[in-house]
């Protein structure tokens, strides 16, 4: 083997020298070479995979439904993660398969249909709203926990003639001439959302909490009818909580109102006792019907 020297390379780093050596040996391929490695497509993976892992680690998937591998649950996880990573519309997210591995990570291979994978799955999620809120309340609300309630609104473009909730109302977004919906939100003192509800756009602020009281009262009645004492206890607590929120939103001191109600009850009952004492009797001597008549009389006399 004959070696000849054709020149000297100086001032180059070792990596550069090794690259030249590999090229002389035929171990390096130019990027213009037909056989060179080419990147024809790439998908975002890291952020989506990391957030999905976090969602599962904190139990979010099982909070949505006890069988988290069902397709609609995975679709909802995709929408949650997609909202964080991409912050776009549901339609845009359904078209993200061209640049993101998110839907594939959630088990959806091939084209994603916005109606099937997004809106239909959101309908299933809506059916689970109350159970999810119960889970969040049990996790984040304990005895003595400060809770915050407020409402906001979201305006709409276009026309919604068939909608029962999109309508004109008090404009909180300063978007004159736009219909809207009203959104009520309960959070912990740290701002962690626990409960949310959507109301018609013309709903007054105080009406949102009153509607929540009616809802809780209906749920309490359902458990009373079923005879479930444990659930009745829970629903009564929810009703009292809703009433306290109504008082706060109306600017009423709930404790003071309760003390006043107790004092009013005591005054009326003393009046009933006085009427019976004038006849030489006590409440124990009369039936419920006569006590009710005396109670109505006391209310009329004392107000």
User: Rounded to whole angstroms, how far apart are CA atoms 171 and 155?
Assistant: 9
DSSP 190: T
| Domain boundaries of the chain, sorted by first residue | 46-127, 129-203, 204-252, 255-302
Burial of residue 158 (CB within 10 Å: 0-12, 13-18, 19+) is: exposed
For 37, 47, 66, 123, the CA distances from 33, given in Å and listed in that order, are 9, 34, 54, 53
Question: Each residue of 195-230: pLDDT tens digit?
Answer: 888 888 887 777 777 777 888 888 888 888 888 888
Average pLDDT for residues 259-277, to the nearest whole number?
90
Torsion of CA 239, 244, 249, 255, to 10 degrees: 150
End-to-end CA distance of the chain: 120
Average pLDDT for residues 100-106, to the nearest whole number?
94
Average pLDDT over the chain reads 85
For 159, 226, 234, the CA distances from 258, given in Å and listed in that order, are 46, 29, 21
**83 has pLDDT over 90:** yes
Best mean pLDDT range from 15-19, 70-74, 184-188: 70-74
Question: Each residue of 30-44: pLDDT tens digit?
Answer: 666 676 677 777 889
Q: Is the pTM of this model over 0.85?
A: no
Question: Each residue of 113-166: pLDDT tens digit?
Answer: 999 999 999 999 999 998 998 888 888 877 666 778 788 888 888 777 778 888
């Amino acid at each position: 083997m004959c070696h000849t020297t054709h020149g000297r390379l100086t001032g180059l780093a070792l990596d550069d020298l090794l690259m030249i050596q590999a090229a002389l040996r035929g171990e390096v391929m130019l990027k213009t070479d037909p056989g060179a490695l080419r990147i024809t497509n790439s998908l975002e993976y890291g952020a989506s995979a990391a957030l999905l892992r976090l969602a599962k680690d904190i139990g979010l998937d099982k909070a949505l439904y006890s069988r988290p591998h069902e397709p609609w649950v995975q679709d909802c996880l995709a929408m949650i993660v997609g909202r964080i990573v991409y912050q776009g519309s549901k339609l845009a997210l359904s078209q993200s398969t061209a640049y993101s591995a998110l839907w594939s990570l959630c088990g959806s291979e091939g084209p994603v249909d916005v109606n099937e994978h997004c809106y239909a799955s959101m309908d299933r999620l809506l059916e689970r709203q109350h159970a999810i809120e119960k889970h969040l309340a049990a996790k984040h609300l304990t005895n003595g926990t400060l809770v915050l309630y407020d409402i906001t609104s979201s305006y709409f473009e276009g026309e919604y003639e068939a909608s029962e909730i999109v309508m004109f109302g008090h404009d909180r977004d300063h978007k004159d001439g736009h219909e809207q919906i009203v959104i009520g939100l309960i959070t912990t003192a740290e701002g962690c959302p626990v409960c949310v509800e959507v109301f018609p756009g013309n709903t007054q602020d105080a009406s949102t909490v009153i509607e929540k009281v009616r809802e809780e009262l209906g749920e309490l009645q359902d458990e009373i009818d079923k005879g479930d004492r444990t659930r009745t206890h829970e629903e009564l607590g929810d009703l009292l909580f809703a009433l306290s929120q109504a008082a706060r939103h109306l600017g009423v001191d709930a404790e003071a109102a309760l003390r006043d109600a107790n004092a009013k009850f005591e005054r009326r009952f003393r009046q009933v006792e006085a009427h019976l004492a004038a006849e030489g009797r006590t409440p124990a001597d009369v039936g419920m019907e006569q006590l009710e008549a005396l109670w109505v009389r006391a209310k009329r006399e004392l107000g």
